[in-house]
């Protein structure tokens, strides 16, 4: 199983989104590559990531 070692968020005026994306990109890339190697369409896999993360975001917003 893959281990996730995130650095802490940027301090001060650091770009939170850019830092998070920088850390997530290699993980997502590896998952997409594995799915494509198994026969999945790259665009379908990327779209599934978008839909999944949006659903998680919406669910979190609905939680009190």
**Residue 21's closest CA among 11, 12, 29, 32?**
29
Residue 8: the pLDDT is 84
Residue 4: the pLDDT is 76
**Residue pLDDT, tens place only, 8-28:** 888 877 788 888 898 899 999
**Token pair recorded at residue 37:** 């190697």
Distances (CA, A) of 26 to 31, 49, 64: 9, 14, 32
**Residue pLDDT, tens place only, 27-38:** 999 999 999 999
The mean of the pLDDT values for the chain is 89
Residues in CB range of 46: below 8 A, 6 or more apart: 32
């Amino acid at each position: 199983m893959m281990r996730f070692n995130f650095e802490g968020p940027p301090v001060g005026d650091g770009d939170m989104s850019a830092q998070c994306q920088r850390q997530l990109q290699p993980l997502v890339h590896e998952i997409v590559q594995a799915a494509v190697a198994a026969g999945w369409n790259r665009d379908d896999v990327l779209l599934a990531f978008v839909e999944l993360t949006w659903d998680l975001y919406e669910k979190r917003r609905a939680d009190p």
